[in-house]
Amino acid sequence: MSLPFHIARRYLFAHKSHHAINIISLISVIGVMVSSMALVTVLSVFNGFEDLITGLYGVFDPDLKITGREGKTFVPDSLLLASLRADADVRVVSETLEENVLVRYGDLQDIPVMKGVDADYVRLTGLDTLMYSGFYSVAEESETGLPDAVLGMNVAVTLQMGLRQMLPLQVYMLRRQVQVSFNPEQAVRRASLHSSGIYAIEEESDGYILVPLGFMRDLLEAPGAVTALDVQLQPGAGAKAVQQRLAAVWGDAYVIQTRYEQKALVYKIMRYEKWAGFMILAFILLIASFNVISSLSMLMLEKKEDARTLSALGADSRFIRRIFYAEGVLIAFSGAVAGLMLGALCCYLQQTFGIVKLANAQSFIIEAYPVRMKAADFAWILLAVGLIGGLTSYWPVHRFFKKVQPVEEIRE
């Protein structure tokens, strides 16, 4: 431990002749502490919501998604598809085909996205564990003789479909290739479905109807076509590395996206919100750190005799400045460390007991604010405190010794 730091530490905890200096120093520490605690808590809540949203989107968004660069659908090359399924880093490959359709149930109608899925889709998403009512089934033929369909909650609510669906679901889709005709019905394909169940995840994902892939291809009159190939990787496989490797094999005719690229705007907005909150709270930390200026100014005036003594013993101006500069940094970091510890404790209690509840929690999928602490956030907070504490300590010390109390006067 350097001598200036040791003297500064003694000044920090020692009793001052003017009690106001102790009070101002304590206020400075508390201000930095509260700001640091707020930073830890807010950033951890943002992390919790990010994990929650990522998990919700992760049901429908695969690790990798392969789509055609041109056109809405494509017929995958059989050799490339076989090599993809045999890849050691790939766990599941699911073929999907989707299109907007008009559906009717009784007198009500809606225009959701109908998504044809194969048998591997449930392995990729685990959707059978997220059923609100009924069960997951997209069989080509049910007990009623109709193909099974699984509806999202939004579609079911719009069509007012209860737990027991007594009527078949009517589907209408425009033909893609239609010859000129005076009969408009020839431009529309019709089909009927049986609803096997309703799933509930989140608003965007709940706007789908899942049907058998073969049924969807017949409806679109597009044998072998897919909108995308959804790929789930083996645990531990790096999505970026696999993406680059597959892109070299599949070529420029296909687009391969990671989960974050599929919802790039959503994840960017979440990051911007998080760092906007960080900047706002860091500004509050800066304001709270101004107390350090007044605390150091009063301390330097009180310790004038000590400075004379050190100067008589041979200490130069730089040595004495380092003492008071270290004093300001100690105030900042003492508050920061205490704030980080209290913030971590608050986050732990929220993770364990869910103390702070969400407003209208009954209409949301969780009851309490989600929290996840990251070591990187603690590092950023310490860096912010270091920069702010360093600046608010350097300025009063530099100005005091340059204009207010030069060392030459102290020696007199």
Length of the chain: 412
Please name every residue paired with 115 in a beta bridge, in sequence order, or none if there are none.
Answer: 98, 210
- What tens digit of pLDDT does each residue of 38-60 get? 999 999 999 999 888 887 777 78
Give the count of alpha carbons within 13 A of 62, CB side only. Answer: 26
Cβ neighbors of 169 (< 8 A, separation 6 or more) are 103, 104, 105, 149, 151, 159, 192, 193, 194, 195, 209
The residue among 322 and 138 whose pLDDT is bigger is 138
Q: Is the pLDDT of residue 403 over 70?
A: no
pLDDT of 182: 56
Classify strands 228-233 and 64-68 as parallel, antiparallel or unpaired: antiparallel
Query: Token pair of 154, please?
Result: 């939004």
Q: Is the pLDDT of residue 66 over 90?
A: yes
Most confident of 172-181, 315-324, 345-354: 345-354
- What tens digit of pLDDT does each residue of 86-101 get? 999 999 999 999 999 9
Percent of the chain with pLDDT over 90: 48
Query: Token pair of 291, please?
Result: 């107390």
Residue 408: pLDDT band by 50, 70, 90 thresholds?
very low
**Cα 30 from Cα 291, distance rounded (Å):** 10
In the predicted model, what is the mean pLDDT of residues 370-378? 94
Residue 17: pLDDT band by 50, 70, 90 thresholds?
low
Name the least confident of 111-125, 191-205, 235-249. Answer: 191-205
**Cα 410 from Cα 412, distance rounded (Å):** 5
Place of tokens 């005036």: 301
pLDDT of 383: 92
Residue 19: pLDDT band by 50, 70, 90 thresholds?
low
Rama region for 126: left / alpha / beta (φ>0; ψ in -120 to 50; rest) = left
pLDDT of 404: 47
DSSP 164-219: S--SPEEEEEE-SS----S-GGGGEEEEEEEEEEEE-S-TTGGGEEEEEHHHHHHH
Residue 16: pLDDT band by 50, 70, 90 thresholds?
low
pLDDT of 364: 62
pLDDT of 12: 66
Q: Is the pLDDT of residue 409 over 70?
A: no
Residue 253: pLDDT band by 50, 70, 90 thresholds?
very high
pLDDT of 177: 65
Query: Token pair of 138, please?
Result: 């997209």
In the predicted model, what is the mean pLDDT of residues 207-233? 95
Average pLDDT value over all residues in the chain: 85
Q: Confirm if 290 and 31 have CB atoms less than 8 A apart.
A: no
**Other CB atoms within 10 Å distance of the CB of residue 235:** 6
Q: Confirm if 203 and 75 have CB atoms less than 8 A apart.
A: no
- What tens digit of pLDDT does each residue of 277-319 get? 999 999 988 888 877 777 777 777 776 676 677 777 777 777 8
pLDDT of 271: 87
Q: Confirm if 105 and 160 have CB atoms less than 8 A apart.
A: yes
pTM over 0.85, yes/no: no
Query: Token pair of 393, please?
Result: 């300590």
pLDDT of 8: 67
pLDDT of 53: 81
pLDDT of 25: 75
pLDDT of 363: 55
